[in-house]
Structure 1
Amino acid sequence: MDKFLLQQQVLERLAVDLLQVEQAARAAHETATHEENIAENKYDTLGLEAAYLASGQARRAEAIRQVMVDWRQFRPRPYEASKGIQLGALVCLLDADNNKQQQLFLGPAGGSMKLLGGTQPVQVISSEAPLGRALLGKCEGDEVAIQVAANRQQFEVLRVC
């Protein structure tokens, strides 16, 4: 699986998200500033609510832009067994409970999404996610456990590249 192609897919998905958020921000701004939405009394809050929404959408757009900068600057390196799993690793895990395999791509924050790496789904996670944190420094054959609420999940690291 090509890490560069996965990175490109993340950037493409983020670009689509950014476009949608920008469109939503413009629509909310237009609603907030439209002359028909001028408050006629203290209970007429449509314009105010739209202004809050536009402001939130603008902040979300800026956050996506920053995530895109981080992903553009990100350079996944080949796996080095002496260092264990690091940012940029492509990891195959075996879930101990149901014997299912899953592919994970450990990347910068903000890119959590599911992609297709060839024919297999790949979950993109950050090192800030509980599973991402637990994977750092682990090697092939190691076991990884995380606590999610009252459930303890255990995995085995099958492959890393």
Structure 2
Amino acid sequence: MLTREEIEQSIQQALIKVHQDAMNAAKRAHDTATSSESVAENKYDTFGLEASYLAHGQSVRVAECQADITAFEQLFTLLKHRALNECDSRKPKLIAVGHLVELVDAEDIVSLLFMGPSAGGLKIELAKRNFMLITPQSPIGEKLMSREVNDEVSINVGGNLHHYEIVGIY
């Protein structure tokens, strides 16, 4: 199984890459919006205005990416602190933010999901295994919160009902 440190590092690296990609896109959009070629030639020429809207949207995306990085840094700090103070491992583990959840469906296909504070939908590859970040606000996140191993959940995705069994919480 993947170690906690490997999972945290892979999430941080993926978030940094997404942030860098967003910064590059914002820079390109800003350069386009401020280019001399973006100056309106007549009152119907909206290229410059559209480019400035795009630049603004890309800047907002950069800020969202930075907020994701900060949220995960805070989560990982909290998890390290909690691990140092954890004393009773006999209690059943309930799914919460910060857990990697292993699900299996009716066809025995295994899925790994990391319950995070943000950046839901981001797919991460680590040691030839893939896992996806989900949030408690997502449909599957809502179904999984406070569940335990051997619980079953059903999720409606695109009009199709999918059934899963929780086989691991790490």
> Does the pair score TM above 0.5?
yes
Which of 162, 165, 169 is 1:153 aligned to? Answer: 162
The one-letter code sitting in structure 1 at the alignment partner of 2:152 is E
**Per-residue CA shift, 1:72-130, capped at 9, x if unaligned?**
1113466874451111112211112x221112221111153222343322222222211
Q: Residues 14 and 124 of structure 2 are in contact (CA less than 8 Å); yes or no, is this contact kept in structure 1?
A: no
Structure 1's consecutive aligned runs of 4 or more residues displaced over 4 angstroms after TM superposition are 77-81
Aligned to 1:138: 147
> Following the alignment from structure 1 to structure 2, what is the Cα–Cα distance between the partners of residues 146 and 66?
29
CA shift in 2, pair 1:130/1:106, >3 Å = same
Partner of 1:62: 63
What secondary structure, in the 3-state scheme, does the structure 2 residue paired with 1:74 have? helix
Instruction: Please tell me whether the aligned partners of residues 115 and 141 of structure 2 are also in contact (alpha carbons under 8 angstroms).
Output: yes
> 2:27, 2:142 → 1: CA distance?
37
Quote the offset at 1:48 in angstroms: 1.0
Q: Which runs of 5+ in 1 are unaligned?
A: none
Q: Which whole-Å deviations, capped at 9, do the CAs of 1:58-85 have from their partners, x for residues lacking one?
A: 0010011111100111134668744511
Structure 2 residue 109 is the aligned partner of structure 1 residue 114:
no
| CA gap 1:31/1:149 in 2 versus in 1, 3 angstroms | closer
| Partner SS, residue 40 of structure 2 | coil
Amino acid aligned to 1:156:
E
Which residue identity is paired with 1:90? L
Q: Is the 8 A contact 1:109 1:128 kept in 2?
A: no
Count how many residue pairs are aligned between Structure 1 and Structure 2. Answer: 160
Listed as ranges, the matches of 1:52-131 within 5 Å are 52-75=53-76, 76=79, 81-82=91-92, 84-96=94-106, 98-131=107-140
Say what the alpha-carbon RMSD is for the aligned residues: 2.0
Task: Provide TM-score, normalisation by structure 2.
Answer: 0.84
Taking the aligned partners of 1:46 and 1:23, their CA distance within structure 2 comes to 20
Q: CA deviation at 1:151?
A: 1.7
> Residues 86 and 106 of structure 1 are in contact (CA less than 8 Å); yes or no, is this contact kept in structure 2?
yes
2:86 aligns with none
Residue identity in the other structure for 1:138: R
Equivalent-residue separation in structure 1 for 2:67 and 2:139 (angstroms): 22
SS of the equivalent of 2:41 reads coil
